[in-house]
Amino acid sequence: MSYVNNIRMFVRVYELGSMSAAARDQRCSPAVASARISELEKHLGVRLFNRTTRSLQPTENGRIFYDGARKVLESIDEAEAAVMDVTQNPRGTIFVAAPLGIGRRFIAPHVPLFKDLYPQIDVRLRLSDRTIDVTTEGLDVAFHLGLLEDSTLKVRLVADCPRVLCAAPAYIARRGTPLDGAALVAERHDCLNLRFPGAKEFQWNLLTPEGPRRFEITGPFESDDGDVLTGWALDGRGIVMKPIFEIADHLRIGALVPVCTATPPMPTQLSVLSQHRRLKDPKVRLFTDFMAAHCRDELRRAMAGLAA
């Protein structure tokens, strides 16, 4: 089994680009991770990485070995899943990613509950608002908030999520209330935008009487963390577009007020993404079923609380 563990360590070092990150991922020390890579290189008779004090890069042999190594691990995982008693003894590790807002509010609080039900399943949760590549980052499951373009992944819709454009009363008192997208642009309102490497240009897709239309927006603030944008909006720094569930409490007490009500944002969607082969794994199916149900319940509660 040590050879398989060495291969698994190699794959995580390759994917994460860091010995220390792979060590954390595999719950061992960097020294153990380095020793496993050295042992694998000795067994193969080739160098898999060029290592310096500042960088780690795969060699040509490392790139060649990675493709085959990942397939080996996938086959082992599928074989283990095939003989596993799903209802009595599910076990293993699930690698999960989620946006910050969804992850903090809906996923993270329920991970311990899932662990209580299935004590032999470990969950590694990463939260980020940046775009996640499920395949290259070695994920089993990724929660996605947004409308998906064509995808080779298995997509499971969890729920539709209405959105709202809103601002603090202090901002409205200073700049006025834009009634629609045209006023938003013409009056050059300060818009708070979620921005990260690879994100599209600043555009908001709003529903006009003529149908959906994209409006070019501007603003002095941007962040790759949606909760930071909410904080700026509460501080009166601009207008933010948010899923209603994220700011229902602020809307209910009037800390944020809807604007551009004549042209509301198009709703977004919460989906679960996974590679097709991952769904054959019982623990992945158990996790996605469990979290999808809890996410829907939490979304209903947030919307009901707002309506109340």
- Per the model's pLDDT, the better-predicted residue between 141 and 86 turns out to be 141
Residue-wise over 249-273: b if at least 16 C-beta within 10 A, else e?
ebbeeeebbebbeebbbeebbbbbb
In this structure, the answer to whether residues 29 and 90 fall within a common structural domain is no
| pLDDT score recorded for residue 5 | 87
Question: Residue 280: is its pLDDT beyond 80?
Answer: no
- What CATH code is carried by the domain that includes residue 283? 3.40.190.10
Pick from 77-81, 230-234, 264-268 the range whose average pLDDT is largest: 230-234
In this structure, the answer to whether residues 89 and 235 fall within a common structural domain is no
DSSP structure string for 257-287: EE--TTSPBPPEEEEEEE-GGGGGSHHHHHH
Q: Which structural domain, as residue segments, surrounds residue 199? A: 163-266
Handedness of CA 82, 43, 28, 278 (dihedral sign): negative
Question: How confident is residue 308, by pLDDT bands cut at 50, 70 and 90?
Answer: very low
Give Cβ neighbours of residue 160 (< 8 Å, ≥ 6 apart). Answer: 267, 268, 269, 270
Question: How confident is residue 258, by pLDDT bands cut at 50, 70 and 90?
Answer: very high
- Which residue, 220, 253, 260, 217, is CA-closest to 234? 253
In this structure, the answer to whether residues 147 and 274 fall within a common structural domain is yes
In this structure, the answer to whether residues 154 and 301 fall within a common structural domain is yes
Percent of the chain with pLDDT over 70: 90
| Coil, helix or strand at residue 117 | helix
Percent of the chain with pLDDT over 90: 34
pLDDT tens-place string over residues 19-49? 888 888 788 888 888 899 999 988 889 899 9
Using CA atoms, how far apart are residues 267 and 38, in angstroms rounded to an integer? 51
Asked if 96 and 287 count as a contact pair (C-beta separation under 8 A), the reply is yes
In this structure, the answer to whether residues 226 and 156 fall within a common structural domain is no
Question: How confident is residue 153, by pLDDT bands cut at 50, 70 and 90?
Answer: confident
State which of 58, 83, 108 marks the end of a domain: 83
| pLDDT score recorded for residue 292 | 92
- What CATH code is carried by the domain that includes residue 232? 3.40.190.290
- Per the model's pLDDT, the better-predicted residue between 212 and 89 turns out to be 212
| pLDDT score recorded for residue 86 | 52
Question: Residue 148: is its pLDDT beyond 80?
Answer: no
**Residues in the chain, overall count:** 308
Give Cβ neighbours of residue 187 (< 8 Å, ≥ 6 apart). Answer: 175, 176, 178
- 273 sits in which H/E element: strand 268-274
Instruction: Average the pLDDT over 231-259 and give the result.
Output: 94
Using CA atoms, how far apart are residues 112 and 44, in angstroms rounded to an integer? 41
Residue with tokens 């569930």: 245
Q: Which of 14-23, 54-63, 111-120, 142-151 has the lowest mean pLDDT?
A: 142-151
- Inter-axis angle of helices 30-44 and 2-16, nearest 10: 110
In this structure, the answer to whether residues 151 and 286 fall within a common structural domain is yes
Structure tokens at 14: 């390759």
Q: Running DSSP on this structure, what letter comes out for residue 17?
A: T
Question: Residue 181: is its pLDDT beyond 80?
Answer: yes
Instruction: Average the pLDDT over 70-89 and give the result.
Output: 69
Instruction: Average the pLDDT over 173-183 and give the result.
Output: 94
The alpha carbon of residue 24 and the mean position of all alpha carbons in its chain are separated, in whole angstroms, by 19
Question: Residue 120: is its pLDDT beyond 80?
Answer: yes
In this structure, the answer to whether residues 152 and 179 fall within a common structural domain is no
| pLDDT score recorded for residue 150 | 55
| pLDDT score recorded for residue 84 | 58
Instruction: Average the pLDDT over 56-75 and give the result.
Output: 86
| pLDDT score recorded for residue 83 | 63
Question: Residue 183: is its pLDDT beyond 80?
Answer: yes
Q: Which of 87-101, 171-185, 214-228, 246-260 has the lowest mean pLDDT?
A: 87-101
Give Cβ neighbours of residue 218 (< 8 Å, ≥ 6 apart). Answer: 188, 190, 191, 202
Question: Residue 242: is its pLDDT beyond 80?
Answer: yes
Asked if 279 and 285 count as a contact pair (C-beta separation under 8 A), the reply is yes
In this structure, the answer to whether residues 153 and 294 fall within a common structural domain is yes
Report the chain's mean pLDDT, rounded to a whole number: 86
**Domain count across the chain:** 3
| pLDDT score recorded for residue 12 | 86
In this structure, the answer to whether residues 59 and 115 fall within a common structural domain is no
In this structure, the answer to whether residues 181 and 62 fall within a common structural domain is no
